[in-house]
Chains A and B, each alone.
Chain A
Amino acid sequence: MAEMMAQGETPDILFWVGCSGSFDDRAKKITKAVVKILNKCDVKFAVLGTEESCTGDPAKRAGNEFTFQMQAMMNIQVLDGYEVKKIVTACPHCFNTLKNEYPELGGNYEVIHHTQLIQGLINDGKLGVEGGVYKGKKITFHDPCYLGRANDVYEAPRELIEKLDAELIEMKRCKTNGLCCGAGGAQMFKEAEKGNKEINVERTEDALETNANIIATGCPFCNTMMTDGVKNFNKEGEIQVLDVAELIANAADL
């Protein structure tokens, strides 16, 4: 972002990478897939790079409103400093926080999830994915809670999967009934309470029941949880866990 501004350019959209997308090795691949798509479509975008900081989502869900608001206010200062108007992110937690919780602290932006942005690019004819490597593959989609129930986005990722000429198979619990992967509400950062099963294992069972080749999702946390779940059943050879952005990037041969 700083570089772009130095050259006197203003980007059309800011790509909010998020902490997972920046630091987690698996999630970095999703970040790269998004960037490839943006570049391919000549979207003028920027990232904050080292000026980006955690949105504060996990602190807020864990009950620490102080840390959340400190993070939020710092981020809002940076974003407003660059006069950011529109933000895309590949993390539903960042998406939810930026979109719903920043306005009350003075940060007003148009925030979209990457699946919504990509859907727009394809519908505008800027990107074609028909008949790519996923033609005829069976794909199931796991709804991230913070994209689906929390923000009512159910169709954008599904439409993208259908664009791949793939067969979209729904799990028995999907959309509003979708089962959580177990990572939300700051659970990602702690051991689960005592119980008789891990939530991600329960959810992976739903996915395996569909006999899909691929579990698609739209959240780096869900990705981790589902990947671990698949490992738990030793099914890594049979079923892949991929972000919708990766599916699109691969199908478009980027």
Chain B
Amino acid sequence: MVTILIFAVLSLVGFGFFAWNISKVRSNILLGKEIDRTDNRSDRWKTMLLVAFGQKKMFTRPIPALLHLCLYVAFVITQIELIEIIADGLTGNHRMFHDALGGFYTFMISFIEILSVLAFIATVAFLARRNLLKLPRLNMKELAGWPAKDANLILIAEITLICFIFMMNGADEVLYSQGKSHLEGQGSLGFSISSFVGPMLFGSVSESGLHLIERIGWWGHILMVFGFLNYLPYSKHFHIVLAFPNTWYSNLEKKGKFTNMASVTAEVKLMMDPTADPYAAAPADAEPQRFGAKDVTDLTWKNLLDAYTCTECGRCTSSCPANQTGKLLSPRKIMMDTRDRLVEVGEGIRKNGKDFNDGKSLIGDYITAEEIWACTSCNACVQECPVNIDPLSIIVDLRRYLVMEESKMPSELAGMVTNIENNGAPWQFSPADRLNWRDEN
């Protein structure tokens, strides 16, 4: 009875804290500007199924994709066992589904065990790749400190979790074979891996020892799950949840199409129409609109959702022509900076109210002008991202702010724009010479 109570309280705290975290993240994301991403629903479902559920874009790099798939499938399927753990925990039963499901139960747990072994191998491979092979895209300087620790921590947690599963199943196997399990009956549970590993590891342990190991595995498992759940919102591993909404809300337009700034359209129309009333377009009480993005709150909520979804895998950065040729720009860093700044602004607003101002901004304090001016707008980062994140649209909005609000841009670009305005071409040629090619040889 006491254990049931402890378990119930624990679940309440675990899920409650998670819900609270989620609501914080949600309110942070909603600090972004409005953008409509609800059209073409059938295409959106398709994109989500292919890219998030089917991991389509991962498979451009087959080996990591396969390893990742092991982790992913194991993670999803293990949730079935988790349901049983929660049900057992709340009712005080032992392996509730065992008798109800019969042979299917054995199959299911066996399947989970096989996947767990694959996940174990994948996790070890990922740790090795990060820390021994030192894969360049996983060892760049923007990952120094917390991001690198975050990645290793979660991999180690996964290994621990898998160990707990085998402690639980392995000890129970030995107990069952001795007829001392809490499960009625005697013999072998018949699970694919633990029916071998269990006797091998725990065959000579005493009965009370076995019960202890089994309980450690059981409680360890569920504690890890609650820990993991509440660690997620602070980690790049949040992508396991957000990849789904993020791909659903993908940009479905051609990648080359940059957003149209409607506020500019209004002003340009005014300039081009001499009969227009110059005061008509701007009602006195309208909030002065900022052109482009200076801080995270000037970005769209989709940009902010992107930032929370980023897995920090660095596929974008490793395909970025600017980064490959030694420039400061790294699209992954753009996403990480956006997220860090958003967390900071979100905390600030919760503490100090809507008008929170710490004198800092995304451009300048996090991302430098040098970084964003190195972008060729080639869309390689957008193409590569396995969860359809768009770093380029943030870069463009930051440029817009620098240019249109602060008139800061590389001097050659200022000259280029002046040429367009004066001659209708980015170079200093006279528009009268536009057709000269016809008569030249």
Binds B, one of A6-14, A80-88, A98-106, A124-132: A98-106
The count of chain B contact residues (Cβ–Cβ below 8 Å) is: 67
Interface residues of B in 250-269 (CB under 8 A from A): 253-258, 260-261, 264-265, 267-269
A179 to B323, CA, bound (A): 12
Verify A193–B370 contact, CB threshold 8 A: yes
Q: Is the CB of B417 within 8 A of A67?
A: yes
Closest to B440 in A: A28
Whether the pair B409, A69 counts as a contact (CB closer than 8 A) is no
Interface contact A62-B409, CB-CB below 8 Å: yes
Choose, from A115-123, A142-150, A211-219, A242-250, the stretch at the interface. A142-150
Chain A 169-212 per-residue mask, 1 if CB under 8 angstroms from chain B, else 0? 00000001101101111111111111111110011000000000
Interface-centre pick from A53, A105, A179, A193 (highest chain B CB count, 10 A): A193
Q: Which of B291, B412, B416, B420 has the most CB of A within 10 A?
A: B420
* 9 closest residue pairs by CB, A with B: A150-B256, A185-B377, A63-B399, A196-B326, A53-B424, A195-B326, A180-B378, A100-B257, A63-B403
A96 to B370, CA, bound (A): 26
- State which of A50, A145, A195 has its C-beta within 8 Å of the C-beta of B376: A145
Residue interface bits B402-433, CB-to-A below 8 A is 1, else 0 = 11100001101101110011001111010111
Q: Which residues in A have some Cβ–Cβ distance to B below 8 Å?
A: 17, 19, 21-23, 28, 31-32, 47, 49-50, 52-54, 56, 58-67, 69-71, 73-74, 96, 99-101, 104-105, 145-146, 149-152, 176-177, 179-180, 182-199, 202-203
Rounded to whole angstroms, the CA-CA distance of A148 and B373 in the bound complex is 22
Sample (6) of A-B pairs whose CB atoms are under 8 Å apart: A28-B437, A63-B401, A69-B268, A179-B324, A187-B376, A189-B415
- Given the known A-B contacts A54-B425, A56-B420, A190-B412, are A62 and B257 also in contact in the complex, defined by CB atoms under 8 Å? no
Flag if A191 contacts B412 (CB, 8 Å).
Answer: yes
Contact across chains for B319 and A177 when beta carbons are under 8 A apart: yes
- B268/A59 in contact, CB under 8 A: no
A48 vs B416: C-alpha distance when bound (angstroms): 22
Which one of A62, A152, A189 lies within 8 Å of B403 (CB-CB)? A62
Contact B292 A63 (CB under 8 A): yes
What chain A residues lie within 8 Å of B216 (beta carbons)? Answer: none
